[in-house]
Amino acid sequence: MTLVIDSLVKTFGTVRALDGVSFSVGPGEVFGFLGANGAGKTTTMRVCLDVLRPDSGSVTWNGVSNTELPRRTWGYLPEERGLYGKMRVLDQLVFFARLRGVAADAATRTVLEWLERFRIPDYRDRRAEELSKGNQQKIQFIAAILHDPDVLLMDEPFTGLDPVNVALLKDAFLEMRDRGKTLVFSTHQMDTVEELAESIAIVDRGRIVVAGPVREVRASTGRVFVHLAVAGDTELAWLADLPGVSVTRPGQDYTEMEVARDRDPETILREALDRGLRVTTFQIADPTIEQIFLEHVGPPPADERHLAAVAAVAAVAPAAPR
């Protein structure tokens, strides 16, 4: 019941979109897939769905090659949102479910349940084009899970939603996990990854640079960070005088600093107390996924051609106006 992605290589023209991507996700596991735009996330998902064939490498679920798997194994939420604009919501969700082998009446029942749950039951007879972007996204989410797929591939599922809808979707997401589904999602929101994913992979220019359980990935760097906040002072100018301490993120809520390996983080707390400050937050933390991401992927690569070319193929580049 494990999804195994093994050494995928895919070349578009001269561009290597995937260069040996491998990872595996077990049942009931949530896997976060991180990477800059055009890094190869969408291409990996398309290869899983057998929409694209890799040059080499394989995708298996439960030991069966994806070229032999029925399409209803997969639930897919594409990054490029799209519905049939002129079609009524109920009609088109039933249509998608029927394509995956769900009987029309069963599909109707499930659709109505989900619309109710997502607090949009009135939209069943509306045309999709009349809905707001966020609501269209919820409709697409329903389209991806209607047929009760075993593996869910979700490309940026929470992007562009308000907090209420993010919470609704996260609930549904976690429910899928609890039902034993295998979940793979990509995102740019690092806090979402830390909240939901048990394991992650960071992909950069077709290569996986870091992969593993979130806890291990965070601890693996050996870097130590401190979060500090005191009452009445958000500047904390005195930190600059401390040896081995460098502020990585000043903030109104708290200040984050990296502490050199040979320094004891508690000296910072002691120093604050010695200065008579009232400490409201003191936390010793591993680096966040965001820091790890920036460390590995870094600033935008100089090789922009790579990104642009892959982006065009990966269907994110809008058509040039005539």
Output 58 or 221, the one with its CB closest to other proteins.
58
Among the residue ranges 78-86, 108-116, 197-205, 272-280, the one whose residues contact other proteins (CB under 8 A): 78-86
CB contact at 8 A, 56 and 47: no
- From the list 120, 116, 142, the residue with the least C-alpha distance to 130 is 120
| Contacting other proteins within 140-179 (CB under 8 A) | 140, 143, 148, 150
Q: What are phi and psi of 292, to 5 degrees?
A: -65, -40
Tokens at residue 143, please? 């389209």
Task: Give the range of 63-71, 161-169, 225-233, 251-259 binding other proteins by CB under 8 A.
Answer: 63-71
207: its two tokens: 């290569």
Q: Which tokens is 238 given?
A: 């005195």
Q: Does 41 bind other proteins (CB under 8 A)?
A: no
Piece in contact with other proteins (CB under 8 A), picked from 15-23, 82-90, 169-177, 186-194: 82-90
Q: How far is the CB of 182 from other proteins (least distance, A)?
A: 10
**Using the rule CB under 8 A, is 110 a contact of other proteins?**
no
Cβ atoms 261, 222 nearer than 8 A: yes
Which residue number, 84 or 282, has a Cβ lying nearer to other proteins? 84
Tell me the backbone φ, ψ of residue 164, rounded to 5 degrees. Answer: -65, -45
- As measured in angstroms, the least distance from the Cβ of 103 to other proteins is 11
Indicate whether 80 belongs to the interface with other proteins (CB under 8 A). Answer: yes
User: What are the angstrom distances between the C-alpha of 59 and each of 6, 65, 83?
Assistant: 6, 6, 28
Distances in whole angstroms, Cα of residue 46 to Cα of each of 30, 51, 59, 71, 254: 19, 5, 11, 12, 41
For other proteins, give the closer residue by CB, 78 or 265.
78
Interface residues toward other proteins, by CB under 8 A: 1, 27, 46, 49-53, 62-64, 67-74, 76, 78-87, 95-96, 98-101, 140, 143, 148, 150, 180, 312-313, 315-320
